[in-house]
Amino acid sequence: PVEQTFAIIKPDACKEHKDVIMRRIKESGFAISDMKEINLTHEKAAQFYKNHEEKPYFNELVDYMSEGPSMIMGLSKINAVEEWRNLMGPTDPELAQQTSPNSLRAQFAKSILKNAVHGSSNTKHAIESIELFFKEITAEEDEATA
Ligand code: CMP
């Protein structure tokens, strides 16, 4: 079935490799259903990664994710969640280089933390993330102008 996943081109990769990553996404047959470039606030990054709150890398992760603009997207395709995870490759770029040298993380990740891209692990997370980032625009704009 056609499904949706949620994707982020993280700040360093967005600055250095946005065009080539966007091209790889389109060449791989994803339709981009939602897209915007935003600089995540600390609060938003912490909210998005709340499941990692207890991890030793949490603060570094939140700093990294709010250091500059990210490209955030809803991607649709048959089997989008798994297909996007395959295109990204494993979280750890060393493993990515061994097992999937053509993956985005093999090519663009700098470390397990600065791993270039994010993708939802399942459709439930995908829907939650798309709602978090694309269905709260009015509230955010209200906050920004308040
Ligand atoms: P992502 O797929 O966005 O999901 C959680 C993020 O936490 C992950 O990519 C990495 O950026 C980061 N991360 C996961 N595991 C580690 C780790 N062991 N050390 C540092 N950062 C990590």
pLDDT tens digits along 101-123:
999 999 999 999 999 999 999 99
Q: What is the pLDDT of residue 97?
A: 97
Buried b (16+ CB within 10 A) or exposed e, 73-112: bbbbbeebbebbbebbbbeebeebbeebeebbbbbbbeee
Task: Show the tokens assigned to 82.
Answer: 């798994």
Q: Residue 125: exposed, middle, or buried by beta-carbon count in 10 A (0-12, 13-18, 19+)?
A: middle
Task: Show the tokens assigned to 111.
Answer: 């470390």
Q: How far apart are CA 102 and CA 99, in angstroms?
A: 9
Q: Residue of the nearest CA to atom 3 in ligand 1?
A: 118
Q: What is the mean pLDDT of residues 88-107?
A: 97
Measured in Å, residue 9 CA sits from the centre of ligand 1 at: 14
Least confident of 51-55, 96-100, 139-143: 139-143
Q: What is the pLDDT of residue 144?
A: 57
Q: Is 125 in the pocket of ligand 1 (CB under 6 A)?
A: no
pLDDT at 56 over 80: yes
Q: Is 95 in the pocket of ligand 1 (CB under 6 A)?
A: no
Write the CATH number for 61: 3.30.70.141
In one-letter notation, the amino acid at residue 116 is: A
Q: What is the pLDDT of residue 1?
A: 87
Parent domain of 106:
2-145
Q: How far apart are CA 44 and CA 133, in angstroms?
A: 9
Instruction: Point out the residues that are catalytic.
Output: 118
Q: What percent of the chain has pLDDT over 70?
A: 92
Count of domains for the chain: 1
If you average pLDDT over every residue of the chain, what do you get? 94
| pLDDT, tens digit (0-9, with 9 covering 90-100), for 4-48 | 999 999 999 999 999 999 999 999 999 999 999 999 999 999 999
CA angle, 107 as apex, 86 and 83 as ends, to 5°? 15
Q: What is the pLDDT of residue 137?
A: 53
Q: Is 88 in the pocket of ligand 1 (CB under 6 A)?
A: no
Closest to 47 measured CA to CA, from 116, 112, 136: 136
Q: How far apart are CA 54 and CA 62, in angstroms?
A: 13
